[in-house]
Amino acid sequence: MKSDSERRAAMVRRTIARRGIDAPLVLEAVGAVPRERFLPAALRAFAYDDAPVPIDAGQTMSQPYIVALMIQALGLEGGEKVLEIGTGSGYAAAVLARIARDVYTVERYAQLATKAADTLSTLGYENVHVLHADGTLGWPEHAPYDAIVVAAGGPGVPETLKSQLKVGGRLIIPVGAGRTAQQLVRVTRHSQHDYQQEHLAEVAFVPLVGAEGWAPNEHESVPSTPAHAASSTH
């Protein structure tokens, strides 16, 4: 049986690099993060399949190729301040953290935020900061950001997130008229009021729920308190 590190190396070669992901920083980061550690023991056998994996709160860990595609589309060169919306398991934040200086990640569901923060802290990702809040409103205390990535599909690009992007920065988000299928969009901010929008791929993400996203279902509560942080949020 192959080790997790062997399975990870094979995933990078077969399902990421062969499909056009060629940014060295992205390939190195994906190849270094132990994806299995972000899943419960019962699901770790699926960690390196090129498919989404279910996690708590009805959410999913995105397939490895999509994580790599979205991060490559940010055009990171290393040392940036990045905002992630939709922490989920914490896996994508860990990949980002191997490239960026600081990653600020916001999760709507308290149980996911707490679990992800604990996993990231255990694995030593001290430059990742986790907040339990409405991700559609970003994390204004640390804005502006060099890059923003949203791991849930919204009906449009939240204006609040656009306003928290630095001039010259890029925002990646799935956008669609329905809650189940979207276009992956890259928004580049050229000036205070000038934004360029590009369509990158067809994708399917869980809904982006919040004040500037989809309305919550009746059983969903509104986030209000921060989760245990993986590191200082100063």
Residue 29 is inside which H or E element, if any? helix 24-32
pTM above 0.85, yes or no: yes
Q: What is the pLDDT of residues 92-120, one digit of tens each?
A: 999 999 999 999 999 999 999 999 999 99
Residues marked active site are found at 62
Report all structural domains of the chain as residue ranges with CATH numbers, in order of start: 4-203 (3.40.50.150)
Confidence of residue 231 (pLDDT cuts 50, 70, 90): very low
Beta-strand ranges (E) seen in the chain are 53-54, 60-61, 81-85, 102-107, 128-132, 145-150, 165-175, 182-189, 195-203
